Structure 1
Amino acid sequence: MDNNKEVVVERDENGEEIKPLLISANTISVRAPFEWLAKGWADIRRAPLFSLTYGGVIHLSTLLVFWLVYQGGNTTMLFTIGMGALLVGPALAFGLYSISRQIELGLEPRPGYCFREASKHMRNELLFVLILLVILLIWARAASMVHIFFPLGDDIGIEGWMQFLAVGTAVGSFFAALVFVTSVFSLPLMLDRNTDAITSALTSINAVLNNKLPMLVWAALIGALLLAGVVTLGIGMIVVFPLLGHASWHAYRDTISQQA
């Protein structure tokens, strides 16, 4: 094999490099998600102040949402809000990706560095977040339809509750799966390579489809850890959210090909 083969770089009429629309994915093992969590925990130990402060903000936000819903008297909205949090979670963890990247580069983790990196990719980030928000709004409308067809009342009974939860879970799972496959690697990819939203989303989808079983394990771990964070009234989110954010960076590094 000729290792000195010249790499052909396509360029546009202005001489600028044409970036591929899809970045290839590596094949990963079923054990990989557990390794990502171990690496994420190591990053928390390297940057405990920033990581746990990040988690603390998420915890306070969770408590605020719970309080607002309770004050409004619509406790069933917690189910919808919980699914919505899953949709926007990847965008909220952008700073954690940056911290893991700084550690990987041998830098001292600094919050200011995160803000500078975020500002460099602001256009693509905002576009992607906008897409997530549109999906969230569609999901909220779908959740409202579930309430219409399965109205809750004092006489709903166990069977009514089971039907409501079954349909609500099915609808929410569809949107959660859609967001998972499109966003699990997208934002780390934008941060690392300054790719556009479409390339990032297509690359993420391709990587998930090429690693179905490991990514199913990863999705299950994310769901279980987030549930643990929620049932502790958000206290667990102080550790769970930064752990998942840092681990997601390592998931990206292992799964998406690092070849130029």
Structure 2
Amino acid sequence: MDEKPPRTKANGLPEDTRPFVAPCRAIQPSAPLRWLRKGWQDFCAAPRVSLIYGFIMLVISYLITAAAWAFGNMGLYLSLISGFVFLGPILALNLYGISIQLQQGKQPSLSESFRQVRICIGDALTFTVIMVVVFLVWARAANLIYIFYPVNEWRVEDVLLFFGVGSSVGALFCAIVFTASAFSLPMIMDRETDMVTGVITSANAVLRNKLALFVWASLIGICLLIGLLTAYVGLMILLPVLGYATWHAYRESIDASEWDARFELPPEDSE
């Protein structure tokens, strides 16, 4: 019986010759500002679908806060709001679809973005399960923090200690999630690859460009803080902008040409 020929990718080489990780380009510390600018341009090009997405995220934020308020548990609030941040990369998949449509010169629509997401839903769900596990570990840690550092009488020193310890522990979890998700889901959306390759590629890019990605993570944190300080209203704009910016960050930073593309897209402008 004849052997089946080795599966090949777009450039005709055997699939098993692909590198273990997609190489990353050198990222300048100023690049995150350019990504935000591109994210804002996509928001302005698709304001209706962006605001619909932003409104959904706004409602989710209010529901989280209402649940924590009803149970009177600051630990619950801290874990839920942080969990929302952990799952943010998953929720941004539709935004990547909007950016893809804009780069293809199409009129963006949420229905089309849902169709695009279905293409890579298997690996995206695997990533989601991992993030849920991380979230559950963090939720447990947040409740332990509340037990050992209770805020009963809302004294200033108690509140500061609670948020200080909680923020420090939360920052560690967020760093892990950021390293794994900075470029992984956009790559899974863009290329016919798997979750493991995407996560390793993301971690490699973050570790090789620590300063630039620290700037990017800081900008994300600042945007989320602005959203909190505006009673979440600012998130209606900031979350879509961050989602679009993440897509352009991936396109500028990762050379995934060894994997077959899911969509026909023009080269990314890095100027």
Length-normalised TM-score, structure 2: 0.86
Q: Which residue is 1:170 aligned to? A: 168
Native 8 Å contact 2:54 2:237 kept in 1: yes
Are 1:56 and 2:47 an aligned pair?
Answer: no
Distance, in Å, in 2 between the alignment partners of 1:109 and 1:115 is: 11
AA of the residue aligned to 1:15: P
Q: Over residues 74-113 of structure 1, what are the superposed CA-to-partner deviations in whole Å (9 max), with x where a residue is unaligned?
A: 2453222222121111111110011111111222212222
Distance, in Å, in 1 between the alignment partners of 2:104 and 2:210 is: 30
Distance, in Å, in 1 between the alignment partners of 2:107 and 2:157 is: 55
How far residue 157 of structure 1 moved from its aligned partner, in angstroms, is 4.3
Are 1:191 and 2:165 an aligned pair?
Answer: no
Distance, in Å, in 2 between the alignment partners of 1:185 and 1:250 is: 10
Listed as ranges, the gaps of 5+ residues in structure 2 are 8-14, 259-271
Root-mean-square deviation (Å): 1.7
Distance, in Å, in 2 between the alignment partners of 1:76 and 1:231 is: 19
Q: Which residue is 1:6 aligned to? A: none
How far residue 257 of structure 1 moved from its aligned partner, in angstroms, is 1.3
Q: Any idea what SS the aligned residue of 1:147 has?
A: helix
* Aligned residues between the structures: 248
2:209 paired residue among 208, 211, 224: 211
Q: 1:201 to 1:258 in 2, by over 3 A?
A: closer
Q: Which residue is 2:151 aligned to? A: 152
Distance, in Å, in 2 between the alignment partners of 1:47 and 1:28 is: 27
AA of the residue aligned to 2:116: E
Q: Which residue is 2:112 aligned to? A: 113
Listed as ranges, the gaps of 5+ residues in structure 1 are 1-11
AA of the residue aligned to 1:150: Y
Q: Which residue is 1:15 aligned to? A: 6
Distance, in Å, in 2 between the alignment partners of 1:78 and 1:136 is: 13
Distance, in Å, in 2 between the alignment partners of 1:86 and 1:122 is: 20
AA of the residue aligned to 1:96: L
| Bigger Cα displacement from structure 2, 158-167 vs 24-33 | 158-167
Q: Which residue is 1:240 aligned to? A: 238
Distance, in Å, in 2 between the alignment partners of 1:62 and 1:158 is: 25
Distance, in Å, in 1 between the alignment partners of 2:182 and 2:78 is: 22
Q: Which residue is 1:123 aligned to? A: 122
Native 8 Å contact 2:124 2:185 kept in 1: yes
Q: Which residue is 1:4 aligned to? A: none
AA of the residue aligned to 1:50: V
Length-normalised TM-score, structure 1: 0.90
Q: Which residue is 1:85 aligned to? A: 84
Q: Any idea what SS the aligned residue of 1:78 has?
A: helix
How far residue 14 of structure 1 moved from its aligned partner, in angstroms, is 5.3
Q: Which residue is 2:264 aligned to? A: none
